[in-house]
Amino acid sequence: MMYDNDIELGRNDVCWCGSGLKYKKCHMDFDAKLQRLAQSGEEVPARALLKTPEEIEGIKRSAEVNVGALDYVAERIREGISTEEINTWVHTYTVEHGAIPAPLDFEGYPKSVCTSVNEVVCHGIPSADEVLASGDIVNIDCSTEKDGFFSDSSRMFCIGDVSPEARDLVRVTKEAVQAGLDAVRPWGHLGDIGAAVNAYAKDHGYTVVREFGGHGIGIEFHEEPFVSFVTKPNTGCVLVPGLCFTIEPMINLGKRHIDTSDPNGWTVRTKDRKLTAQWEVQLVITDEGYELLSW
């Protein structure tokens, strides 16, 4: 029996990865390594979470639409645009590219994209009543399902004349994601990423939201593992090649605490109503490091 409760393949069986090769010529040694790590007490992701080359190709086709939708928004977003218009852009772009906006009807979410303005931490719902004004900072979070494969990324946009304080928060949050990426080592630990993000944010006097984080993704919108950005190095699951997940820290100008009391059940705000920012990328761990899939 394998560590993930799967049955062990025979040497001459066809490998699970879709290569068509015999197990002994393909992932047999790899699986033995996973088994050893699990037995030594490491948290090892179930093999079902590791994406095969074919699955990664599918996720890339999904991500192509997701990145395209965000690029489309980037070219048009400005003062005077409502978040409802952004929703229409993303919805139309996605559908016209043969894909489905993953947020729509996800656990009852009513729109095709999340638009989180200023003190909104995440899951802001687009509305015709919400018109972007000069000085706003806004996160546009796009997620796409194409042919059964999922992609997810988000970007911040500064509208018109933005205060230096807000601009710094947006920039540092993007840099924090890069610090997280720089901490990725194949066969390292997931906690290394959160530790790097947290240290970077803290160094700039900001705080990191604990209640929400990144997630595995690919065959489903949200898979294991949960990706926290308040972790210690050398903790959490092993970064096994094939593991696909997001890095998406929410970083606050003021205190870390959030307010989830909005009656719509979605919109999350900072408790102190100070500004917050988030950038999100999706990556897959490779033998050499990582490959960015969506941004």
Residues that bind ligand MF3 (CB under 6 A): 103, 106-107, 109, 114, 123, 141, 143, 152, 215, 248, 280
Binds 121: which of ligand MF3, Co ion, none (CB < 5-8 Å by kind): none
Q: Which is nearer to ligand MF3, 266 or 290 (CB)?
A: 266
Among 145, 152, 192, 223, the residue binding Co ion under the rule CB under 5 A is 152
Q: Which is nearer to Co ion, 122 or 240 (CB)?
A: 122
Residues touching Co ion: how many (CB under 5 A)? Answer: 2
Where does residue 259 rank: exposed (0-12), middle (13-18), buried (19+ CB within 10 A)? middle
- The residue written with tokens 């100008």 in the block is 253
Binds 213: which of Co ion, ligand MF3, none (CB < 5-8 Å by kind): none
Binds 223: which of Co ion, ligand MF3, none (CB < 5-8 Å by kind): none
Distance CA 153, CA 70 (A): 8
Q: How far is the CB of 246 from Co ion (least distance, A)?
A: 4
Q: How far is the CB of 282 from ligand MF3 (least distance, A)?
A: 9
Site string for Co ion, 103-142 (x = CB under 5 A): ----------------------------------------
Among the residue ranges 79-87, 152-160, 186-194, 250-258, the one whose residues contact Co ion (CB under 5 A): 152-160
Binds 103: which of ligand MF3, Co ion, none (CB < 5-8 Å by kind): ligand MF3
Q: How far is the CB of 154 from ligand MF3 (least distance, A)?
A: 6
Q: Which is nearer to ligand MF3, 145 or 152 (CB)?
A: 152
Q: Which is nearer to ligand MF3, 103 or 242 (CB)?
A: 103
- State which of positions 232-271 bind Co ion (CB under 5 A): 246
What is the SS3 assignment for the chain?
Answer: CCCCCCCCCCCCCECCCCCCCEHHHCCHHHHHHHHHHHHCCCCCCCHHHCCCHHHHHHHHHHHHHHHHHHHHHHHHCCCCCEHHHHHHHHHHHHHHCCCEECCCCHHHCCCCCEEEECCEEECCCCCCCCECCCCCEEEEEEEEEECCEEEEEEEEEECCCCCHHHHHHHHHHHHHHHHHHHCCCCCCEHHHHHHHHHHHHHHCCCEECCCCCEEECCCCCCEEEEECCCCCCCCCCECCCCCEEEECCEEECCCCCEECCCCCCCCEEECCCCCEEECEEEEEECCCCEEEEEC
Q: How far is the CB of 114 from ligand MF3 (least distance, A)?
A: 5
Q: Which is nearer to ligand MF3, 26 or 102 (CB)?
A: 102
Q: How far is the CB of 42 from ligand MF3 (least distance, A)?
A: 26
Q: Which is nearer to Co ion, 77 or 227 (CB)?
A: 227
- The residue written with tokens 């790097």 in the block is 196
Instruction: Mark 55-85 as b/e (b = at least 16 C-beta within 10 Å).
Output: bbebbbbbbbbbbbbbebbeeebeeebbbbb
Q: Which is nearer to ligand MF3, 143 or 198 (CB)?
A: 143
What is the binding site for Co ion (CB under 5 A)? 152, 246
